[in-house]
Amino acid sequence: MNNDKLSILKLIADASIVVQLVMLMLLGASFWSWYIIIRKRRMLGRAQSVADRFESEFWSGSDLSSLYRKVTSGKGAGPGMPAIFESGFREFQRLIQQDGVSAERVIETSRRAMRVSMTRETDLLEQGLASLATIGSTSPYVGLFGTVWGIMNSFTSLGAGTQTATLQTVAPGIAEALVATAMGLFAAIPAVIFYNRNADRLGRIESRFETFSDELLGILERHAQRTTTGQG
């Protein structure tokens, strides 16, 4: 085992400058992707847990005004669903207190505010996914470039010397170059796996946001119709 590790380190140390730079870049990409993966796991997990708690409280029969005060005071704050609720209910309260405002206008304004808030919250949750996709799609090609360069260098050096092109003389140079391909796959595979997984989780969270927005708008619409009818 130790000999294998030492031989791989020796292959990296003996590689050309270009191949070493490729390996260093792929190593940096791998560290960056794992940073995004860990950060995204925590962020999406927190958004889901906040949504679970908020929906439980929302459907427990709490007064919406009391829930709004709790959210704005910071006690029920959190990423995602509470922010969407706050933006929609804030516009609802502002317009419902004005005379001559139709229920349709109240609901449409609340819908726009919630849509803007939902887009903003989704954008925050999406941060980093594009980087994972880029690392997953480009790392194998970067590693392949290092491999091609290393093999080309190996054969060029062999052609300039007096050695006969045998497997024993060619194998070390090819092995050095293939390490770049291995590192490219090492960076790409986790990035692709966790990009797909996080994209799926994000899609389900977005669906929850949209469903909640529609349900809240239905409740607000009934309140608005009763209030505007009473004013008329």
* Average pLDDT of every residue of the chain: 83
Q: What per-residue confidence (pLDDT) applies to 209?
A: 93
> Token pair for residue 30?
């791998």
Q: What count of other Cβ atoms lies within 10 Å of the Cβ of residue 49?
A: 12
Position 147 pLDDT exceeds 70: yes
Position 1 pLDDT exceeds 50: no
> Quick one: average pLDDT of 133-145?
92
Position 127 pLDDT exceeds 70: yes
Share of the chain above pLDDT 70, in %: 84
CA distance 82 to 56: 12
Q: Residue 25 belongs to what domain range?
A: 2-231
Each residue's pLDDT tens digit, 166-215? 555 566 667 777 888 888 999 999 999 999 999 999 999 999 999 999 99
CA distance 125 to 99: 39
SS3 64: helix
Return the closest-CA partner of residue 136 out of 57, 65, 199: 199
Position 100 pLDDT exceeds 90: no
- Per-residue confidence at 5, pLDDT binned at 50, 70, 90? very low
Number of domains observed in the structure of the chain: 1
Position 161 pLDDT exceeds 70: no
Each residue's pLDDT tens digit, 32-60? 999 999 999 999 999 999 999 999 888 88
Each residue's pLDDT tens digit, 58-90? 888 778 888 888 888 876 566 789 999 999 999
Position 164 pLDDT exceeds 90: no
Residue 19 vs residue 191, higher pLDDT: 191
Return the closest-CA partner of residue 210 out of 40, 50, 43, 51: 51
Q: What per-residue confidence (pLDDT) applies to 62?
A: 75
